[in-house]
Structure 1
């Protein structure tokens, strides 16, 4: 006892303080519950919800009885047609004599079971016991029904929501493939996934994220294929999220990724249901958040982020060639300006004589070294690219293209940059557009500047050192325990069938071994 007092100061004061806290907590829980007195409960509910001007309180009597009731709903979020035609009409209609005993009308009250089972034609009805739950449900579109003499309150699923039509994803355009993309409605998105194939193995586990403003989140995986350890790790990371509000899946992506300092995305985001379903059938896990059309896929690899669903819709030879072209475009996007700087500043002898004479002639009169010249053009292109994204859609692309042409031509005429530099920057920008994932494109644009400075310091040796450091970093990077550069490292020959070369479909009979799925074979 003495040691307890020594650790906590005055033991009696601490005990009294704990007792007071426990008593106040019990008192708050008691005050949060309903009393069963209609007048008292209705006033307490109004006191909690009256500051919200869009909350409506509708008083009425049940049927031809004198039993008072109150319906609470939010204008705009709750479906008024459902409230008027299915709830109010059912509750205010006179009960027939054959139900008088079943209704148990006595002492100014009506049986709650009779209301639920006989009167209300609603698919979602829950009973709640405290005001805090009532407030949170009403403010998300549910309607609450308070009956005289009942200590429980019914909440009825009347949430209407604001939905848009199914459209083609604007961020992931394809020549061939499904034209349906996810929407902002979580129920619509889960229904789209269900509709892609008839299977009872697709499991959807629901969570709530956000402390102050709660939103629903669903984890999707295929039971019997997905590695249980990966599924459990995803659930644990979701449950550890501690933030007041999650407006978009980008918040989830940043809160559950392995390394927040990495320039590379360790979680894939997509608007395409076919991409999500393909990933689920490989043994990956998808995360869908209410209020955003972007789903998340984990775990991912770098090669996966450079692939497109269209690779599988075309025959394997053109699919492979397009994929190889995409990998080459990523290489150009990363290293083209750095290679130009290295050759011009340090290794002109490696360039053919006629070409080096042509480049030297075009650079005559340019007052800046190659690194400054490249930085001027690259920063200008990045500003134009960002401006094109923020401008209204009808004029955004035109401003980006025309602005680039005008600035490039004006810079050449003024002698600030050389024509060959404009060509290099233009090729780099075009190559970056061939990358299917916008987030990967941002990463390569960031690393491009590091490669340029490395080339300006040490030439080709600087580029080689940059690539060595980048390669060693990528080998150590993981996404939910899966090596980021797999299958090259660690080397798995079977997974190379869907890496640089997309083999014919009949040859890809196994799922990726790096995911360690429960069922490795795609075919029996």
Structure 2
């Protein structure tokens, strides 16, 4: 550690040979280090970089041709003003050089100078912009984020053309550093949220972060909670929409997903399609989604509880039908339900891991064939197959994959409680779930806002939609610095064509 501090203070100015020796020792197992030495107008100049990381054509045309063909005595300020690139900076720390050379920067050192000139000339292979795969939309933009941080930042800048937008840079990872950008609107985002996120990013001491999904687990209020606390999205329009409403965003190098924080439980149920539709269609679909997700966790446990203990509340005709359906089934309802739920999870996981076309076919055909065979073999009743299928179908309405997975996990303990204690066990389970959610936070904000703490003025941001001209305010539950989006009087003005 003492040696690293000594390098930071004393290596520059230095001799070219000493710098080359240090760089070669650091990259002795990396044959791709290019360290070239030149002598120009009586001064020694070194240009060094990792070959496969940079655009070598730009190095030759923009840097070397300018550096060697002009009859001037180079200094760092003259170099920065002459080379036709706009990403030039100076660095005086060896640690920063070793960090940045791995992300595609080219370094120029003029012997005797106290700093090294650096240019970012990244030559990274990246896929072109394409349609989102994990979040499907009927209306609205279809473009998705890519693995290129530069491309993603350009998309965000293109969608938010404001000088108020901040993209703050962080580098995280000791062994494999990755660039992370904190994105927010300076005049809208809550300062406390920004400072909290900054602190968590600065204090994060890990070897590497593989993806934004891993980063958000490190930054979560607690890593022991089953519910996702930060929202991930591959849709730039959803990302920028959240930013303009006062939330914070995170983008990670080599990750096609952006992270939005803070997020409430209801953020995971919202879809950007609700915005692009008329208010009544958006409200209807949002209500359908809420009902479906609630049914997905309770419908199977309720069936198990009623058929085990409270069968007296079932209408007579339906009770006869259930009895006939279960006459050949040797298992109690709880084992029967757990067996079918586990079978559905196997089909879902197999369909997700197989190639797309094969997975879809296998999921449909496998569900039909196995379900029919299970009924004929007397392993389960046909009514329970309908119940489990409804539960699985309802869970697919979740716009967020992580929330859908969480609800699938919650269904299993509720089935067990329903089978052991009847409807009372389900009430106990749901009560425990509500208490758990009341204690949960996201970046310090309540997870059940605006229900807890209750803010009736924010209900139209969560449970229903109003016409756009009435949506004058941002959600107060996130405490934005600027609450008003526009003023109602100005929005309601109607002007004739001759005004």
Q: Say whether the fold is shared (TM-score over 0.5).
A: yes
5 Å-filtered alignment, 1:226-265, equals: 226-265=189-228
Any idea what the Cα deviations from partners look like across 1:51-99, whole Å, max 9, x if unmatched? 202222334444xx56554322222210011012222222232x3xxxx
Residue 398 of structure 1 corresponds to which residue in structure 2?
Answer: 361
SS of 2:346's partner is helix
* CA–CA distance in structure 2, aligned partners of residues 193 and 26 of structure 1: 38
Residue 87 of structure 1 corresponds to which residue in structure 2?
Answer: 63
Shift of 1:47: 2.8
SS of 1:449's partner is helix
Taking a change above 3 Å as real, the CA distance of residues 38 and 467 of structure 1, as seen in their structure-2 partners, is closer
Q: Does the 8 Å CA contact 2:8/2:92 hold for their aligned counterparts?
A: no
Any idea what the Cα deviations from partners look like across 1:256-289, whole Å, max 9, x if unmatched? 2123222211111111111122212222111111
Taking a change above 3 Å as real, the CA distance of residues 459 and 26 of structure 1, as seen in their structure-2 partners, is closer
5 Å-filtered alignment, 1:25-44, equals: 29=8, 33-34=11-12, 36-44=14-22
- Could you tell me which of 47, 51, 55 is aligned with 2:29? 51
Whether 2:116 is the aligned partner of 1:153: answer yes
Any idea what the Cα deviations from partners look like across 1:388-443, whole Å, max 9, x if unmatched? 11112231221222222222122112111111111111111111111111111111
> Which is further off, 144-153 or 270-279?
144-153
SS of 2:134's partner is coil
* CA–CA distance in structure 1, aligned partners of residues 137 and 230 of structure 2: 21
Residue 17 of structure 1 corresponds to which residue in structure 2?
Answer: none
5 Å-filtered alignment, 1:409-488, equals: 409-488=372-451
Q: Which has the larger radius of gyration?
A: 1
Residue 342 of structure 1 corresponds to which residue in structure 2?
Answer: 305
Shift of 1:459: 0.9
Q: Does the 8 Å CA contact 2:296/2:395 hold for their aligned counterparts?
A: yes
Taking a change above 3 Å as real, the CA distance of residues 254 and 369 of structure 1, as seen in their structure-2 partners, is same
Shift of 1:153: 2.9
RMSD: 2.0
- Could you tell me which of 273, 277, 280 is aligned with 2:243? 280
* CA–CA distance in structure 1, aligned partners of residues 76 and 7 of structure 2: 26
* CA–CA distance in structure 1, aligned partners of residues 42 and 365 of structure 2: 75
Shift of 1:458: 1.2
Q: Does the 8 Å CA contact 2:20/2:35 hold for their aligned counterparts?
A: no
Any idea what the Cα deviations from partners look like across 1:156-199, whole Å, max 9, x if unmatched? 22112222211121111000011111111222222211211322
5 Å-filtered alignment, 1:100-179, equals: 100=71, 103-104=72-73, 110-118=74-82, 120-150=83-113, 152-179=115-142
Q: Which sections of structure 1, spanning at least 5 residues, go unmatched?
A: 1-20, 105-109
Q: Does the 8 Å CA contact 1:123/1:157 hold for their aligned counterparts?
A: no
SS of 1:394's partner is helix
Q: Does the 8 Å CA contact 1:253/1:296 hold for their aligned counterparts?
A: yes
* CA–CA distance in structure 1, aligned partners of residues 8 and 162 of structure 2: 44
Whether 2:463 is the aligned partner of 1:500: answer yes
Taking a change above 3 Å as real, the CA distance of residues 132 and 283 of structure 1, as seen in their structure-2 partners, is closer
SS of 1:296's partner is strand
Give the TM-score normalised by the residue count of structure 2. 0.92
Residue 490 of structure 2 corresponds to which residue in structure 1?
Answer: none
> Which is further off, 50-59 or 514-523?
50-59
Taking a change above 3 Å as real, the CA distance of residues 496 and 132 of structure 1, as seen in their structure-2 partners, is closer
Q: Does the 8 Å CA contact 1:205/1:219 hold for their aligned counterparts?
A: yes
- Could you tell me which of 257, 264, 269 is aligned with 2:232? 269
Taking a change above 3 Å as real, the CA distance of residues 232 and 133 of structure 1, as seen in their structure-2 partners, is closer
Q: Does the 8 Å CA contact 2:8/2:95 hold for their aligned counterparts?
A: no
Taking a change above 3 Å as real, the CA distance of residues 35 and 49 of structure 1, as seen in their structure-2 partners, is farther
* CA–CA distance in structure 2, aligned partners of residues 133 and 489 of structure 1: 46
Taking a change above 3 Å as real, the CA distance of residues 113 and 259 of structure 1, as seen in their structure-2 partners, is closer
Residue 351 of structure 1 corresponds to which residue in structure 2?
Answer: 314
Taking a change above 3 Å as real, the CA distance of residues 479 and 152 of structure 1, as seen in their structure-2 partners, is closer
* CA–CA distance in structure 2, aligned partners of residues 431 and 356 of structure 1: 24
Whether 2:47 is the aligned partner of 1:71: answer yes
Shift of 1:521: 1.5
* CA–CA distance in structure 1, aligned partners of residues 68 and 207 of structure 2: 41
Shift of 1:492: 1.4
* CA–CA distance in structure 1, aligned partners of residues 102 and 43 of structure 2: 26
Q: Does the 8 Å CA contact 1:34/1:41 hold for their aligned counterparts?
A: no
Aligned length: 487
Q: Does the 8 Å CA contact 1:73/1:142 hold for their aligned counterparts?
A: yes
* CA–CA distance in structure 1, aligned partners of residues 31 and 415 of structure 2: 57
SS of 1:57's partner is strand
SS of 1:76's partner is helix
SS of 1:395's partner is helix
SS of 1:288's partner is strand
Give the TM-score normalised by the residue count of structure 1. 0.88
